[in-house]
Amino acid sequence: MTVSAGLGIANFPFAAADAFWDWVDLCETSGVNSIWQSDRLIGQDPNLECMSVMAALAGRTRRIKFGMNVASLGLRDPVLMAKACATIDVLSNGRLLPAFGVGSARSRDYTATGTPTKGRGKRAAEGLEIMSRLWSEPSVSFSGEYYQLEDASISPQPVQSPLPLWVGGSAPQAVIRTARWGTGWQAGLETPEEVAPVIASIKAALPEYGRSIDEDHYGAGFGFRFGSADEPIARRNNELLSKRLGKDASGLSAIGGVDEIMALLQRFRDIGVHKFILRPIAADAQEVIGQTRQLIDQVLPEIARLHR
């Protein structure tokens, strides 16, 4: 089983596009496995729309994979999303890693887009089935509570067959969605102790649907910073996360150096996580580049040693 690490961004700490592309180029030419863009529409903090980023990365890069962490399927039409993912996968020669969740009922994205939060889980479940089938079947008919299709097809279909389908969420219904349709599962802002029972529940549910998920297709993510927890940016990151989650978020990040980052990564690995999305805690483009370089030089070699 392989252990791999990608880089994630939850906001846009770059003053201009050129700095963002400098960071992308650094990831592309290094041993970084993948780039992941969080999904958020409404907010004062700068944040890019995730599917636009996927399309842009398809054109800019040639090696690295990329995905959404995670796109809210409760907000998006599954046919349009299936077509967009297929197009991006074709144009990137098979490097897209689609990942979907329901989205929080507290998100302002629902209100701003006039999308009801009621039924969002059922809409997402129907959407996962529709997308999965459109990516692999020549013709799809579907009659659900929220979506109806008759002899629908998309062409070209994705290069990857099957196209990966990562599912996020820890609620019981998210476990079922993962067991029915997922090829992998991605944790949210959770500790290893919170993630462990979710992985166990998914594995227990898989036989009911006659399916399996590769043992190394369970993922988690956390913020990292080479530095001190007393730095203003580190304190601000913890304060914002704690306010958002309604609990102390200090255990969701690794701040210090290689030992601290690898210690948290190993705690996740001990409960069955093998794929990681690491988010640099940084105030601006210069810090993002610097933190990423340190991760590439100091942490990625340690991760590579885990599966030798």
10-residue stretch averages of pLDDT, the chain, 308 residues long: 89 94 97 94 92 98 97 95 98 98 84 91 96 98 98 98 96 96 96 97 98 97 96 92 87 96 97 97 96 97 85
Domain 4-305 adopts which CATH fold?
TIM Barrel (3.20.20)
* Per-residue tokens: 110: 């629902």
CA distance 257 to 65: 26
- What angle separates helix 17-28 from helix 50-60, to the nearest 10 degrees? 60
Q: With beta carbons less than 8 A apart as the criterion, state whether 94 and 61 touch.
A: no
CA distance 294 to 264: 17
pLDDT, residue 1, reads 65
CA distance 285 to 289: 6
Q: Flag whether the pTM goes above 0.85.
A: yes
